[in-house]
Chains A and B, each alone.
Chain A
Amino acid sequence: MSVATRTINFTLNGAPVSATIAPHHTLLEVVRDTFGLNGARESCGQGLCGCCTLMVNGQSVSGCLSLAAFADGATVTTVENLAVDGKLSPLQTAFIECGAFQCGFCTSGFLLMATELLASNPKPTEGEIRNHLSGNLCRCATYPEVMRAVQLAAERMA
């Protein structure tokens, strides 16, 4: 099972980085194993749960299905980038206040998706929130609290 490796260069949470990867490595593995960022996590491994959500060139992707090779030259951000200088984003604060997580394993994905939503649609309806978060699953079923948190953050950011 010997495979050729190559080096990719990309921007990770604002800093230029490079990594040596094999063709089968996912972007999720590289972000976690090479750069020690643990916020994105593999759960279903099949693009079904959203626990592994990453932002690539401003677009949400399932990190478990994205090959690292395609990230060469891209801009990648993770949940670790949401707080600035230790100050939580309005969505992060709202998630804490509304109790929008239990075990927290899915939370990074919900936060990145909700951030993406509010960036393009600052006043989403309930239906729009549900639609945008429909690719994220939460086994603790904190959906009602997540809905409230997104609405609260939207109100505060208005």
Chain B
Amino acid sequence: MDTKVSPDQVIDAQQVGRSVPRMEGAAKVTGRAEYIHNLRLPGVLHGKVFRSRIAHGRILSIDTSAARAVAGVHSVVTGEDIRRIIPEPYYGPAFHDQPILALDKVRYVGEPVAAVLAADPHVAEYAAGLITAEYEELPAVFNEVEAATSSVYVHDELKPAITFPDLKHLKGKRNTNVALDYKLRRGDVAAAFASAAHVFEHEFHTQHIMHTPFEPFVALAEPLDDSVTIHTSSQMPAYVRLEIARLLGWPENKVRARTAYLGGGFGAKVYVKIEPLVVALALLARRPVKMSLTMEEQFYVIGKHATTFRIKSAITADGRIAARKCEVFWNGGAYADIGPRVSQKSGFTSTGPYQIECAEIDSAEIYTNLPPAGAFRGFGIPQLVWAYESHTDIIARALKIDPLEFRRRNILHDGQEHPTGTVMRDAEFDEVLVRIAARMGWDQPFDRGTGTKRRGRGIAIGVKASIAPTTSFALVNVSADGSAVLFCNTIDMGQASNTANAQLVAEVLGIAAERVKVTQADTDVTPFDMGTLGSRSMFHMGHAVRLAAEHARTQLEALCAEGGITYSGEQSVAQGFRKKFGMQAGNIFGVGHYTSRYQAADPVTGMSKEVTPFWMIGGAGIELEVDTETGHVTILRMVNVVDAGRAINPRVVETQISGAALMQMGQTMTEEMIFTSAGELTNPSLAYYKIPGIHDIPASIENEAVEAETRNGPFGSKGVGESGTFGVSPAIANAIDDAVGVRLYSLPLTPESIYRAICAARGEPLED
């Protein structure tokens, strides 16, 4: 909150649509911003974890004696010890499949098996290194396509949580690794293929990725007499409370989860991750326990699904997509986490943003013996867009139709029905394509380079359905001096949600956004919200905040009217309170909540009239140069265009587009978790898992949010945190094809894979 802005300043100015500087800016540039990473409590014990070194095996014994003997060790805890306080210690949002510490079996290399507590974290770490375990090794399965039909089963029996009705039928199912199979059946696909002028079929792959938030997972649990407080770097405090309460069999009000600013999340910190273990350790030790994972350990907590996507299209003689078949295998790792939701929600849009009358989708979440995969900026969409927009480009080039023209000929327009059966609304696909093309000068001649330096350009566009139905609550508390505080559980992890939400409150109350304070989430005081993920918050929480502020304003106006005062912002409210209570005293609470509409998919056809309350749309245009002697790619220009509805804070929207696109660029060019044939991760370090640095940033980046309005969104807005990722990977692959005439089917697009493809195209393939 900036108290330098006077209470009655800019009362009439619009707060929505203004590039208000981030409210936590000064705290972040002075090093004073609060992160849970910083938290120190007297008497705290530090927890360090001993992890499985095999991918699949029955636990025969765990020897903790050497660790216990280390001076300074408080205690060593195994899965069986946890049963003393949590008899059924399995957690997870979709399946209750993940043990707090391994029980009976281990299912991936890196799975937590035991934990050491000590006052000195170095002592705990040293002692954890002395623990040993013996296993009866079992065969393991790592590839998602193999695992779909393998006789090696990661779990003996499926245990869906009650939360998702569409998973109920999997309860008790044995002899399978398929944790969800979403199907869409629309139209006569077979007939469309039979009568097609052209049929194209390809298979694409994406790799395992880790979010690497720079504030690694950290949580501190404080046991109190009959309750527990969890300080955690989480995108979902309300869910942390709910899941911990369920595990302990306690009412929700005995569990308090609070957060501070997050040092990045990107989907890694949704649902619960290390919180169940930290809480269990604290309750067993009856002392506060803090766990701060290292960057290396993060790779064993959660990642992004590797995928195999088989896609097949039927094209008519006039270049229209008559039918499309999509078969997507999602490598979910050893525990489901939110993976089944990723494969279903993304599954909806596997066919892309095109008018397709006949469609068939099979999108399956598959258990394997690898670290779990879950939500990651885009919730599965970047993997899909990579495949369908590479495929789309191949078709256009094969039919000698300009790739832009081919897309525009098939793109969905408002009022048309998406293959799921939902009618498109406020979805500016064509405008996004038009703006990318305009910025790139698509119809202008292009310098294609000479000799060993060849240039090319490519475009791509993707679509995402929001996660629905979900609920947000918000509370606005106006004090007797007229100043307002917003209580909500939307977590500011860098996307400036606090600033945007303050702008909404300010807009409604007619005051300056800088005057509004936003609290950090604390489930003892901030009301329920499903969580900060999937770009849902601007839309859902935006509505809840707007309604709460409107509720407050109605009461404030009445208060003023009672005292014969005309409402005009903070000072009028202060007068109103003084008149009513005889002094500066009292509060007015405005409350609001919002639940998005959704119609569950038909169990047979997979169709629904309402799969999403709004559509996210993002496209990219790339110009690049390929060195044909090394396969090295230099991205010269990157154009990112999205439909973000009406921007609440234009500058923040731009940094979201840019940040998302550059993050996706890293996943396209360099990032990859590399496993041995035994499922051991070889590169859990920023040294060998290469994320973009400042030298990797293209010389020219342009970002644009098209003129648009989401008519059912708060002040016309919608979410934008992910849209910038969608088009990047295929636009780069399409540009490489344009430059050197080779097509790549697997991410990342390393110089080696490009050089191999160039050699193969010359008829001189390199040896493996």
A and B held together in a complex: yes
Does A60 sit at the interface, judged by CB under 8 A?
A: no
Does B25 sit at the interface, judged by CB under 8 A?
A: yes
Residues of A within 8 A of B24 (CB): 104
Does A157 sit at the interface, judged by CB under 8 A?
A: no
Does A151 sit at the interface, judged by CB under 8 A?
A: no
Q: Looking at the assembled complex, report how far the CB atom of A156 sits from the nearest CB atom of chain B, in whole angstroms.
A: 15
Does A158 sit at the interface, judged by CB under 8 A?
A: no
Residues of B within 8 A of A107 (CB): 28-29
Does A85 sit at the interface, judged by CB under 8 A?
A: no
What separation, in Å, do the CA atoms of A137 and B689 have in the docked complex? 13
A43 lies within 8 A of B214 (CB):
yes
What separation, in Å, do the CA atoms of A8 and B448 have in the docked complex? 62
Q: A44-B685, A99-B655, A130-B694 are in contact. Are A139 and B31 (CB under 8 A)?
A: no
A130 lies within 8 A of B663 (CB):
no
Does B149 sit at the interface, judged by CB under 8 A?
A: no
A142 lies within 8 A of B71 (CB):
no
Q: Looking at the assembled complex, report how far the CB atom of A5 sits from the nearest CB atom of chain B, in whole angstroms.
A: 12
Question: CB-nearest residue of chain B relative to A105?
Answer: B263
Q: A83-B30, A99-B22, A103-B262 are in contact. Are A141 and B215 (CB under 8 A)?
A: no
Q: A82-B30, A88-B26, A141-B659 are in contact. Are A48 and B686 (CB under 8 A)?
A: yes
A46 lies within 8 A of B687 (CB):
yes
Residues of B within 8 A of A51 (CB): 214
Interface centre among B26, B28, B40, B496 (most CB of A within 10 A): B28
Residues of B within 8 A of A111 (CB): 29
A139 lies within 8 A of B32 (CB):
no
Q: Looking at the assembled complex, report how far the CB atom of B203 sits from the nearest CB atom of chain A, in whole angstroms.
A: 30
A43 lies within 8 A of B35 (CB):
no
A103 lies within 8 A of B215 (CB):
yes
Question: CB-nearest residue of chain A relative to B685?
Answer: A46
Does B311 sit at the interface, judged by CB under 8 A?
A: no
Cβ proximity bits A36-49 to B, threshold 8 Å, 1 near / 0 not: 11111101111011
B contact patch SS: loop
Count of residues in B whose CB is under 8 Å from the partner chain: 58
B21 lies within 8 A of A49 (CB):
no
B494 lies within 8 A of A102 (CB):
yes
A contact patch SS: loop
What separation, in Å, do the CA atoms of A24 and B121 have in the docked complex? 12
A134 lies within 8 A of B693 (CB):
yes
Residues of A within 8 A of B686 (CB): 44, 46, 48-49, 137
Does B450 sit at the interface, judged by CB under 8 A?
A: no
Partner among B21, B122, B655, B691 whose Cβ is within 8 Å of the Cβ of A139:
B691
Partner among B123, B651, B692, B697 whose Cβ is within 8 Å of the Cβ of A99:
B651
Does A72 sit at the interface, judged by CB under 8 A?
A: no
A1 lies within 8 A of B71 (CB):
yes
Within 8 A of A (CB), among B164-218: 211-216
Q: A39-B31, A41-B37, A99-B22 are in contact. Are A1 and B695 (CB under 8 A)?
A: no
A1 lies within 8 A of B30 (CB):
no
What separation, in Å, do the CA atoms of A102 and B653 have in the docked complex? 12
B21 lies within 8 A of A97 (CB):
yes
Question: CB-nearest residue of chain A relative to B492?
Answer: A103
Within 8 A of B (CB), among A1-23: 1-2
Cβ proximity bits B426-444 to A, threshold 8 Å, 1 near / 0 not: 0000000000000000000
What separation, in Å, do the CA atoms of A38 and B38 have in the docked complex? 6
Q: Looking at the assembled complex, report how far the CB atom of A16 sits from the nearest CB atom of chain B, in whole angstroms.
A: 21
What separation, in Å, do the CA atoms of A41 and B494 have in the docked complex? 17
Does B33 sit at the interface, judged by CB under 8 A?
A: yes
Count of residues in A whose CB is under 8 Å from the partner chain: 53
Does B17 sit at the interface, judged by CB under 8 A?
A: no
Interface centre among B30, B123, B663, B691 (most CB of A within 10 A): B30
A79 lies within 8 A of B31 (CB):
yes
Does A62 sit at the interface, judged by CB under 8 A?
A: no
Residues of B within 8 A of A46 (CB): 295, 685-687
Question: CB-nearest residue of chain B relative to A3?
Answer: B122
What separation, in Å, do the CA atoms of A106 and B695 have in the docked complex? 17
Q: Looking at the assembled complex, report how far the CB atom of A19 sits from the nearest CB atom of chain B, in whole angstroms.
A: 16
Question: CB-nearest residue of chain B relative to A37?
Answer: B31
Does B566 sit at the interface, judged by CB under 8 A?
A: no
Residues of B within 8 A of A45 (CB): 294-295
What separation, in Å, do the CA atoms of A114 and B10 have in the docked complex? 35
Does B264 sit at the interface, judged by CB under 8 A?
A: yes
B658 lies within 8 A of A80 (CB):
no
Residues of A within 8 A of B694 (CB): 130, 133-134, 136, 143, 146-147
Does B103 sit at the interface, judged by CB under 8 A?
A: no
Q: A102-B659, A130-B694 are in contact. Are A92 and B264 (CB under 8 A)?
A: no
Does B250 sit at the interface, judged by CB under 8 A?
A: no
Cβ proximity bits A99-122 to B, threshold 8 Å, 1 near / 0 not: 101111111100100000000000
What separation, in Å, do the CA atoms of A158 and B415 have in the docked complex? 56
B295 lies within 8 A of A140 (CB):
no
Does B334 sit at the interface, judged by CB under 8 A?
A: no
Cβ proximity bits B27-50 to A, threshold 8 Å, 1 near / 0 not: 011111101011010000000000
Does B384 sit at the interface, judged by CB under 8 A?
A: no
Q: A79-B31, A99-B652, A103-B264 are in contact. Are A141 and B663 (CB under 8 A)?
A: yes
B216 lies within 8 A of A43 (CB):
yes
Within 8 A of A (CB), among B222-276: 261-266
B655 lies within 8 A of A80 (CB):
no
B70 lies within 8 A of A1 (CB):
yes
A80 lies within 8 A of B30 (CB):
yes
Does B126 sit at the interface, judged by CB under 8 A?
A: yes
Question: CB-nearest residue of chain A relative to B28?
Answer: A104
Residues of A within 8 A of B38 (CB): 32, 38, 41
25 cross-chain CB contacts under 8 A: A1-B72, A1-B122, A39-B32, A41-B38, A41-B214, A44-B295, A46-B687, A48-B686, A49-B686, A79-B30, A80-B31, A80-B32, A92-B29, A103-B215, A103-B262, A103-B265, A104-B261, A107-B29, A108-B31, A133-B694, A134-B693, A139-B214, A139-B266, A143-B694, A144-B701
User: Told that A45-B295, A99-B652, A139-B214 touch, could you supply 9 new A-B pairs with CB distance under 8 A?
Assistant: A2-B71, A33-B40, A44-B685, A45-B294, A80-B30, A106-B214, A134-B695, A140-B494, A144-B697
Interface residues of B (CB under 8 A from A): 21-22, 24-26, 28-33, 35, 37-38, 40, 70-72, 122-123, 126, 211-216, 261-266, 294-295, 493-496, 651-652, 654-655, 658-659, 662-663, 666, 685-687, 691-695, 697, 701
